Structure 1
């Protein structure tokens, strides 16, 4: 779903907060943090007046994810035991934006992804450009790593997904929005799946300027056994068995 950009006065961004929930992602988290480092570096070059931070929320991790995250001194690490992606995302936002006054929320941007994803170098720059244009929330596209999937499964996935502007998909792995929009929409709910969908639905109902863009594309793991029941990996597992008919 897309929306026309408002002509109202736009609040220029001063901060970007990247939030990444992780549950036992020792193997894939290094790639995620490498690509985020590049994206942050690119934003700092393009927009040096914007302060950028990355917060990783380790949710009930029993592997080496903590060691991976702590090898990146610029990354803030929060440890929780929710075993719930919605609660972990909400905790990450609360940690990253603690102390931000209400009057400044429109100048703070939340960029959300997952710990099994690789973001492009211009991922944050593109979000800043959209925010400058008056967008309050942007839903990007997500593609599974082709190397992880059987060609037949990949073909089924491609047949069900529209990687175009105005696409209907919502992924917490590729979601950006103003902190003011996040708060006004009630934030991420503490649910094990579709916390992203619920937030976007509320933002659209509130009248905020929401955009579905193909310019933001994130690559995610093509695994079929994931961390969240009913999540992206579950959908891929259904495609693997030919059981799923809808995106």
Structure 2
């Protein structure tokens, strides 16, 4: 697959504190040597923000969509639509990657996704990890990786995260994009891709570092999952 333009979409609600690190990491991933001939458009959807999130995003060079959805599904969809509309006709968006404003992608994140796309995969569903300094890091890993096979065996994991997701534009359009869900829009998109027979790779090879905060921005999201997890003292 030859990707003329890659769109990276980041929904954000009051994320002025964590967004700079997220955008810096995306910038590093965009400068990977494997993307030398690829244009990367980063779109931040400032959804119902009351802080400096839009200004922080613009200062980092991202495109900004100001919205008042308070709905992650609508925010992600709006970000994708904005990127598709802004792409050069000579270099259309052929791959869409999404992450979150409280997450830090690895330097080879986009290179990894595009390499899988060249292998014929139409979506790449990745995993997340917590900072090693978090008291939740070990219990999260034990619970999260309960189905992981012995070392050396690929793990077709059961997880889906908007923080670590990539999809070919044609496949995304085929299933109608992200649905307007307040939670689970990432799961719904992947389920739709699988129902339509698109090649979906579930891989743990390129995990994204995400925040261990317990005050979730999206009800029912990863923060709520962490908040419900037994603490080490309770285990």
Taking structure 2 as the reference length, the TM-score comes to 0.89
Give 5+ residue unaligned stretches, structure 1: 1-10
The residue aligned with 2:151 is: none
* Aligned: 1:186 with 2:186: no
Cα offset for 1:159? 1.8
Match of 2:144 in 1: 161
Give CA deviations for 1:178-198 in whole Å, capped at 9, x if unaligned. Answer: 011111112111111000000
Asked if 1:201 corresponds to 2:191, the answer is yes
1:81 corresponds to 2:64: no
Q: Which residue of 1 aligns with 2:58?
A: 70
In the alignment, what sits opposite 2:36? 48
Give the conservation status (yes or no) of the 8 Å contact 2:127–2:203.
yes
Q: Does 2:3 match 1:13? A: yes
Q: How many residues align?
A: 225
Q: Which structure: greater helix fraction?
A: 1
Counterpart among 29, 54, 64 of residue 39 in structure 1? 29
Residue of 130, 136, 156 corresponding to 2:116: 130
1:210 counterpart = 2:200:
yes
Indicate the RMSD between aligned Cα atoms, in angstroms: 2.2
- Between the aligned partners of 2:206 and 2:29, the Cα distance in structure 1 is 12
- Tell whether 2:125 aligns with 1:139: yes
1:20 partner SS: strand
Q: How far off its partner does 1:215 sit?
A: 1.4
Q: Distance in 2 between matches of 1:47 and 1:159?
A: 34
- Given the alignment of the two structures, is residue 92 of structure 1 paired with residue 79 of structure 2, yes or no? yes
Unaligned runs of 5+ in 2: 149-153
Mapped contact 1:29–1:65 kept (Cα < 8 A): yes
Equivalent position of 1:57 in the other structure: 45
The answer for the alignment partner of 1:30 in structure 2 is: 20
What is the deviation of 1:82?
A: 0.2
Contact 2:10 2:101 in 1 (8 A): yes
SS in 2 for 1:98: helix
CA contact 2:183–2:219 (8 Å) conserved in 1: yes
Once residues 161 and 197 of structure 1 are traced to their aligned partners in structure 2, the CA distance between those partners, rounded to angstroms, is: 16
- String of CA shifts for 1:77-114, please: whole Å, max 9, x gaps: 1110000111100000000012779xx97x61001000
CA distance, structure 2, for counterparts of residue 68 and residue 154 of structure 1: 29
